Structure 1
């Protein structure tokens, strides 16, 4: 038993102060417990309530993928522009610092999730940058709280510019054309 000699008896419970009832910015998740909110808070931007997810598990599900030949050189520079990295355990561990300020979503399946006769099930084909930005803009305008892109970012002529432009659409409400100008500016400075 703990020694209670010299302990002060508790008596000030601040009954006149209501407990903090913090809301939660990820739509539909205010009822979740602390652990789920903690993980979602890493994935969704607290200001916009939205997320940009960068998928790069293509090599695992599709084999060698253009743009990911040197994943250690392509993906780390994109970390400042995205909220979530989606990849396999090995790739994330080999090229992303555990201290990187980005959520990590690890693929845990053991088989392919892409239907080769219908590439749209695997995230779609690489689109021209403006079209990809228009797709992201439409998704956000129609109520989505984020986008999951892979090849439309890492196969771009300027992956960092494309990731930054997608972030402008998702988090700052830029139109596709405004975001395309961001992409062009960064592409022209590389």
Structure 2
């Protein structure tokens, strides 16, 4: 781990209106038209934020509770999401091609939960990503992991290919059991991904110092939902993430393992895009669940 830095707990961009950044997605002003167009499909122009629905868990852990039947889980929730994060197999078998949501395509893989997870490779070609009409590619970053360099090479390979075809890349910060999920670590990992070319970074929320993670990363940060939490706790995490500068959330288990997934994704969207408080969103969740 790096030595402690002296980054103060402040968000340098908190008081700068979105319109003063130019294009509504942070750090994207110098990208070409195709990448801006795809990023614009992921992040709503009105709010500058996104609600991603993640269903890509099976690529390394098989049938996950709540995702045993992708064809029954995904379709009822898509209208409430801005983007679907999924594998190409899930998309082709279980998603109606007439749907109009952005696709964030899982682009790395290899090992299962039975092996060393950091030993991933690039798992798709850009030709196939184009055939699927992906709006972005998602690749794991195992900063501090056994195969750290390999995972970073996966990222840079996809960034290079994505620049050629106008497809953005989302670097997903993967945290192993031996790594501490604190702001210092996430400042390191998110900044590495951004400086190596990723146009979006996905990482976990930290109770302390998350605003410094956001402010020192020059591209949008999307917060991972992580393990299943009680609905109110998940909504509080989403609210705090947005308040501290996140450009959205990417939730999986906290939606598809919820007692009422459709009510939950509706409540999350209200928090992210409309500024609803976690408590009001939880009340909305309960009201919708009781209908």
Give TM-score scaled by structure 1 length: 0.81
> Superposition pairs for residues 109-188 of structure 1, below 5 Å?
109-112=108-111, 117=177, 124-188=226-290
- Alpha-carbon distance, 1:40 to partner: 0.3
Per-residue Cα deviation, 1:14-43 (whole angstroms, up to 9, x for no partner): xxxxxxxxx421122122210111100110
Could you say which residue in structure 1 is the equivalent of 2:61? 62
Q: Does 1:103 align with 2:106?
A: no
CA–CA distance in structure 2, aligned partners of residues 99 and 38 of structure 1? 19
Could you say which residue in structure 2 is the equivalent of 1:29? 28
- Alpha-carbon distance, 1:172 to partner: 0.3
CA–CA distance in structure 2, aligned partners of residues 180 and 61 of structure 1? 32
- Alpha-carbon distance, 1:56 to partner: 0.6
Which structure 2 residue ranges, 5 or more long, are not aligned?
A: 1-21, 112-116, 118-173, 182-203, 205-223
Aligned length in residues: 167
With CA pairs under 8 Å and 6+ residues apart, which has the higher RCO, 1 or 2?
1
Per-residue Cα deviation, 1:27-85 (whole angstroms, up to 9, x for no partner): 22122210111100110111111000111111112222100111111111111111110
- Alpha-carbon distance, 1:183 to partner: 1.0
SS of equivalent to 2:270: helix
> Superposition pairs for residues 16-55 of structure 1, below 5 Å?
23-55=22-54
Q: Identify the range of structure 1 (107-116 vs 162-171) with the bigger mean alpha-carbon deviation.
A: 107-116
Greater share of residues in strand: 2
Give me the CA root mean square deviation: 2.1
Give TM-score scaled by structure 2 length: 0.54
Larger Rg: 1
Which structure 1 residue ranges, 5 or more long, are not aligned?
A: 1-22
